[in-house]
Amino acid sequence: MVEQNEWVFFRDIDWEDNKFNVFSVDTRDFHCGYRFEEDFSKIEKDYNKILKNKENFILSKSELIQLLERFYTTSGGKKDWRLFSLEGYGENWQLKYLRIWRNEFGFIVCDKDNFALNKEVLKKEVNKKYLH
């Protein structure tokens, strides 16, 4: 991938490009910005606890793509704008951006404040109350 002046639709992202390891998906339209970051301490959960509990926090590339596809299609597909949240999590724009960090084990999905979300949270149904 090359750096772009505008964010890129999530389906066009190369999730394994070594030049980038942090991705921000704007859930209003599912376009994505990306950068490289060495400091994983910005994740708002003890990173060592995440690594000790990998099976509950770290997704494979295929799991990540399936997750984003589910979020995108269930929340209405191609739209100019939506307020994305999950049932019981993320109202009030907490999921305006999905911050996705890639490490050597896979992908960690966080909310807009870089709070790591476990797989139980990510399995929740899309809240359709405030989508549009």
- pLDDT tens string 113-123: 999 999 999 99
| Cα–Cα nearest to 117, from 35, 58, 30, 31 | 58
- pLDDT tens string 47-98: 888 999 999 999 999 999 999 999 999 999 998 888 999 999 977 899 999 9
Q: So what's the pLDDT on residue 60?
A: 98
| Cα–Cα nearest to 11, from 58, 84, 73 | 73
Give the start-to-end residue ranges of the domains of the chain: 8-122
**By the 8 A CB rule, do 37 and 106 touch?**
no
Q: So what's the pLDDT on residue 130?
A: 75
